[in-house]
Structure 1
Amino acid sequence: MARYTGPRLRVVRRFQQQLPGLTRKTDGVRANPPGQHGARRGRPSDYRLRLDEKQKLVYNYGLGERQLRNYFKAAASRKGDTGKNLLALLESRLDNVAFRLGFAPTIPAARQVVKHGHITVNGRRVDIPSYPLRPGDVIGVGEGSRQHPVIVETLQSPSLSLPEYLDMDASKMTGTFRHMPERADIPLEVQENFVVEYYSRVS
């Protein structure tokens, strides 16, 4: 499955909830799913419930299916709860952290900001959106990018509040990745145990 590039509000309406990394818009959150007969749908199957939770991660973090499966395998190989490990790995991606620091309004926008070389890690430019951050890493805006309109505008009105795993120095346009994210730091409404069950069934 390739990365989704279609209408974002359609996805929001499909899940009937906000996906903070995908879009700032909330007018797609309605009582009924999309489609002429959306209101007539019956109770979803157990498989569909688990598939939908997995798809929330795909859309919110802008991943391909193979990417998410690889993250799941990495999470399963670590000690502790696999679902929480999975979310922590996704949250520690450079594009997501750039978004959470307020350098871009959404994760897709943060991915572009990173790819275009506007973001640095420990003083060095990094243009890989999936770059995994480690505790102590300092993420910043490059010297030549501090007047970039997307970055300046978003810093004035960030999408989300700063999570506990990040420190921010607004005057320097830098943030510090303090520690791996905890479940309480992640605003996405997702049942990560269903994602684990999904991959356990299909693998």
Structure 2
Amino acid sequence: MSKRQNSKYKLDRRMGENIWGRPKSPVNKREYGPGQHGQRRKSKVSDYGIQLKAKQKLKGYYGDVTEKQFRATYAAAVQMKGDTSQNLIGLLEQRLDMVVYRAKFAPTIFAARQIVNHGHIIVNGKRCNIASARIKPGDTVELGAKAKDMALVIEAQGLTEREVPEYVTIEGPKATYVRVPTLDEVPYPVKMEPNLVVEFYSR
């Protein structure tokens, strides 16, 4: 299980962007980075630095998955036919915790992972507690009996800052993963550059 130990919103400030589009993000008030040197003048960033930031931002958006998991996802994307950057996004969007998040069963990707890890999610009629499990088009993802009345689930369903994307359909407490999305279909609050991530790993 991947657990983010430090403050989640520090990533927002380090990136200088509200990467989850949340109203609570400190970037809405302070655009400079965290720490005592956060306001110092920024030096010119190298190509490597730009690629690294793109990787950290994308990895952070998906709940700060471990480097090992993220690299494995990239390796799988390389093996697939077609554009590697599109494949990478498609594989990340197929993670069970991300489908739970997209279906608005959880207010944040971190909460979605917690719900999955605690066994509150049913995939195709069977309980699944593996957040990184890959969901395929046509698969159904459903809230367990106890989860339907959980406060954070009710909170998530009332959120107005994000909508359920077209590649996920909702019928009450059940969601169906319709298809693997392309980059332009994914509702990122900020610009993601998976092509730079591909360049980072292919150096």
Q: How does 1:151-190 map to 2 (within 5 A)?
A: 151-157=153-159, 160-170=162-172, 173-188=173-188, 189-190=191-192
* C-alpha distance in 2 between matches for 1:26 and 1:185: 24
Unaligned segments of structure 1, at least 5 residues: none
Corresponding residue for residue 141 of structure 1: 143
Corresponding residue for residue 45 of structure 1: 46
* C-alpha distance in 1 between matches for 2:140 and 2:61: 24
| Residues matched between the structures, number | 197
Kindly provide the amino acid, as one letter, of the partner of residue 45 in structure 2: P
Kindly provide the amino acid, as one letter, of the partner of residue 17 in structure 1: E
* C-alpha distance in 2 between matches for 1:180 and 1:112: 23
Aligned equivalent of 2:133, options 128, 131, 134: 131
Corresponding residue for residue 193 of structure 1: 195
Corresponding residue for residue 33 of structure 1: 33
Q: How does 1:23-102 map to 2 (within 5 A)?
A: 25-29=24-28, 30-37=30-37, 38-61=39-62, 62-102=64-104
Q: Which digits, 9 at most, give the CA deviation of each residue in 1:16-50, with x for residues without a partner?
A: 112218x6522324432334443412111111100
Identity, % of aligned positions: 39
Q: Which digits, 9 at most, give the CA deviation of each residue in 1:114-143, with x for residues without a partner?
A: 011111111211110001000100111012
Q: Which digits, 9 at most, give the CA deviation of each residue in 1:46-95, with x for residues without a partner?
A: 11100011111221112111111100000011111101110110111000
* C-alpha distance in 1 between matches for 2:164 and 2:174: 13
Q: Are the structure 2 counterparts of residues 159 and 97 from structure 1 closer, same or farther at C-alpha, using a change threshold of 3 Å?
A: farther
* C-alpha distance in 2 between matches for 1:13 and 1:131: 30
Q: CA RMSD in A?
A: 1.8
* C-alpha distance in 2 between matches for 1:6 and 1:52: 18
* C-alpha distance in 2 between matches for 1:3 and 1:45: 30
* Contact persistence 1:93–1:131 (CA under 8 A): yes
Q: Are the structure 2 counterparts of residues 114 and 24 from structure 1 closer, same or farther at C-alpha, using a change threshold of 3 Å?
A: farther
Question: Following TM superposition, where does structure 1 have runs of at least 4 consecutive aligned residues deviating by more than 6 angstroms?
Answer: none
Unaligned segments of structure 2, at least 5 residues: none
Corresponding residue for residue 121 of structure 1: 123
